[in-house]
Structure 1
Amino acid sequence: MQRVVESPGVSAPPPSPDGRRSRWTEHRRARREELVGAAVAAVRLVGPDFSVDDVARSAGVSKTVIYRYFSDKDELIDAVLERISQAILLPRLMGELAVDRADDREQLRAVIAAFVSLIEDEPALYRFAYAQTGRAGRADLVAATEHAVATALGGLIRARLIEAGRPPEGAMTWAYGVVGMVQLASHWWSVARTVPAADLIEQLTALADGGLGTLLPPRG
């Protein structure tokens, strides 16, 4: 019987430095995202004036761990604002703008309703985002959201005007006018609460549609 001679065991090569670095980078990114989620939960529970201690309790870690991933509270706040914008606010608003509705009034109403419902569903996150406006040298979620929504709305208005053979120069002026009106009125309402949310939506829709209705060509 032929004897089988086994080769000496050969160890697997150690992971390359680039591989280890890639895994560490991914681990750090995932851990940071978990802590941002804990910070969002802390805002919902405590309110806009949450502390790093509140985030640590929410995440079940010490403050020291938080500061391994964020240089200071301002950096953590920026990350929370980014999460609110990208995961909560813009998907609602831009999603409604992306729906092609045959009726202009219903299109406006859907976007306005999405914004008002956000204030109703996430009051703590809304107050937090608004409280951060005007921070020197830091991200301004309110301004960035207004710009994104106005740009999208302006594109729709511009397309309607061009299709009808009309000058499109007023598109962005009208878009910013509508977005600014809805934002400011809704912010006032979030504190005053003088009418039910459904009434606010109808009032703002009537005002926005009344203005754009005189400026845009009728749909064919």
Structure 2
Amino acid sequence: MEHTQRVADAPAPTDGRRSRWTEHRRARREDLVGAAVEAVRLAGPEFSVDDVARSAGVSKTVIYRYFGDKDELIDAVLDRISQAILLPRLLGELVADRGDDRAQLRAVIAAFVSLIEDEPALYRFAYAQAGRTGRADLVAATEHAVATALGRILGARLTDAGRPAEGAVTWAYGIVGMVQLAAHWWSAARTVSAAELVDQLTELAHGGLGTLLPPRA
């Protein structure tokens, strides 16, 4: 009886099969998100689940095993675009210290414009999803992430110089909003070259910040 009680009180062995299945499901879902990103590139912002199935080489039934509906798939694609494509490039350029404010601004603006040039279908897709009620908004989230990072950099510059830093966040959002809206207009109008657009936006952004920021040490 005592032996039986000890066996009953012993912890249950870890179910390795459950953890392997969880990892398999996560990896399979990630593969399908990658296929959906390719479907957007090929079919455009109005891609269908059939397009994703063809890209992945599976049936639609398989897609719906991992995503409850197309909206859930869209959210996963938006997250992939943000985390793997947009933010790494933009934030990477933002934090790279070039020792010159104008050069640093130009690099970030050029990175954003090049994204529109390199990934036009993904850019149109992300913008088409902006403002969806109750759903992820990649455009707003990216603007917020970049503006927050830029605001921290501007604030640090001002604080280090012993100057008030209250305006840093306002300026950061102003610059990000200006670049985003102008670049979105340009993506359809194409009245100037990409290089000219970058130069024009850099002059405007630096013209303002150059009068507001203390000189670099």
Q: TM-score, normalised by structure 2?
A: 0.94
How far did 1:18 drift? 2.5
Partner of 2:62: 65
> How many aligned positions are there?
206
Partner secondary structure for residue 82 of structure 2: helix
Residue equivalent to 1:82: 79
The correspondence for 2:43, drawn from 35, 41, 46, is 46
Q: Which residue of 1 aligns with 2:179?
A: 182
The equivalent residue for 1:165 is 162
Q: Which residue of 1 aligns with 2:97?
A: 100
Q: CA deviation at 1:219?
A: 1.0
- Distance, in Å, in 1 between the alignment partners of 2:21 and 2:79 is 23
Picking from 202, 205, 209, the partner of 1:208 is: 205
Give the equivalent residue in structure 1 for 2:145: 148
Taking the aligned partners of 1:166 and 1:58, their CA distance within structure 2 comes to 54
Identity of matched residues, %: 84
Q: Deviations over 1:84-108 (max 9, x none)?
A: 0000000000000111121000010
Alignment-derived partner of residue 9 in structure 1: none
> 1:20 Cα deviation (Å)?
1.0
**Residue matched to 1:218:** 215
SS in 2 for 1:80: helix
Q: Which has the larger radius of gyration?
A: 1
Q: For 1:108 and 1:20, how far apart are their aligned partners in 2?
A: 51
Residue number among 22, 33, 50 corresponding to 2:19 in the alignment: 22
Where has structure 1 moved over 6 Å in runs of 4 or more? none
CA RMSD of aligned residues (A): 1.0
Structure 1 stretches lacking a partner, 5+ long: 1-15
Q: Deviations over 1:48-91 (max 9, x none)?
A: 00000000000000000000000000000000000000000000
Q: Which has the higher helix share?
A: 2
Q: Distance in 2 between matches of 1:50 and 1:109?
A: 34
State the match for 2:4 in structure 1. Answer: none
Partner of 1:3: none
Matching residue of 1:127: 124
* TM-superposition CA deviations, 1:111-165 (whole Å, max 9, x none): 0000000000000000000000010100000000000000000000000000111
Secondary structure at the residue paired with 1:214? Answer: helix
Q: Mean Cα displacement is larger for which, 187-196 or 94-103?
A: 94-103
